[in-house]
Each structure stands twice: as structure tokens, then as C-alpha cells.
Amino acid sequence: MADELERLITDGMRACLGTTLPPIDLPEEIAASDVRRFLEAVGDTNPLYRDDEYARRFGYRSRPVPPMLVIQLYRRGEQFDGEEGGGSSAWPGLELPDGYTNTRNAGHEIEWVSPAYIGDRLTLQQKLVDMYVRQGRAGVPVIYLVREVEIRNQRGEVVVRQRSTTAKLPEGPSRE
């Protein structure tokens, strides 16, 4: 059974492991209005994100950008393909088996390395680091794609490292 599952991953798919996609530059710098709208939407009243003087008292150069906003901002990248940023269509040469078009988020691990600030311009880069197959709960094989993402500021400093897993399932029967 395990051999049958592993055969879903072809040599061509394995050849994509370790490949890195071109960097994706966000189209604009982080604006104070981005931060304000985010804080209003989530109900965050922490003065660290609202008051430069307050933030400086804690060692920041000015008010930092809320970390989860950084994760959301990268979706502005023009090259983001809508498949959790690492769908198979993002990786040249990664040809999934026929019918494996159903995409699910299968988890994220996020490491906050350094703060982002208003005015920063972010760039992200993705690397495909693993793929494996497991039997799904519905009895169908699921292909998992694991990628590492680094988000850097305009000075090249790493702001965030993220390890994300995407599950690819075969398209199920129509639910009309």
C-alpha cells in the first residue's frame, strides 16, 4: 500500500524538490493606513502598534507592524497564484497526477525573526522542500507539498520564516 501511494510522486515531481521560485516583491510599501485598518478589523488596541514613542520605550525604532498583518500582506504580490502561494501551478515542472486539483491548507509554522515597520517594502521567496503522500480520511491518497517561505524587508533582513504545507486531493464527484 505504501509503495502504491509513493508511486503517485513521479521522478519529475521529485526533481522540483529544492527549487526556489523567483522573488515576489509586494507592489507597495506597508502604509500606516494598512496597519490602522488591520487593528480596527481585529480589535487590537495595543499602543505598541499605534504610538511611535510608546514603541521606542520598548526598543523599537518606531511602531512595528503587527506580525499577522505581515503574513496577510504578502498575498498582494502579483505572482501569488491563489493556491496558498505554493500550489502546484507555481512550480515549473511540477505535474500532479490527473485530477489532483483540489487544494487545502494543511498547516503553517511561522517564525517571527525581526519586526517590520511602516514604510518597509517586503519581498518573499519560496522553496519547495518536501512532498509526500498519505492516505486521506475519505480513503483517497493526498499529496502534500511543503514549502519554506522567507519574507525580507528592503534591507534584505529576514522578517518572517514560514513553513507551509498544502494538501492536494483528487477532485471529488460533483455536488450539484
CATH number of the structural domain spanning residue 98: 3.10.129.10
* pLDDT tens for each residue of 77-124: 644 444 444 455 678 888 999 889 899 999 999 999 999 999 999 999
Cα distance between residue 42 and residue 95, in whole Å: 39
Q: Domain tally for the chain?
A: 1
79 found inside a domain: yes
Q: Does residue 39 contact residue 49 with C-beta atoms inside 8 Å?
A: yes
For the record, the C-alpha cell of 31 comes out as: 502604509
Cα distance between residue 109 and residue 117, in whole Å: 22
Domain of residue 47 covers 2-169
The whole-number pLDDT of residue 73 equals: 83
Strand partners, 148: 127, 163
Q: Can you list the residues of the chain whose pLDDT is less than 50? A: 78-86, 174-176
Task: Enter the pTM of the model.
Answer: 0.81
DSSP strand pairing (158-169 vs 102-112): antiparallel
Q: Does residue 67 contact residue 48 with C-beta atoms inside 8 Å?
A: no
For 90, phi then psi, to 5°, come to -75, -25
174 found inside a domain: no
85 found inside a domain: yes
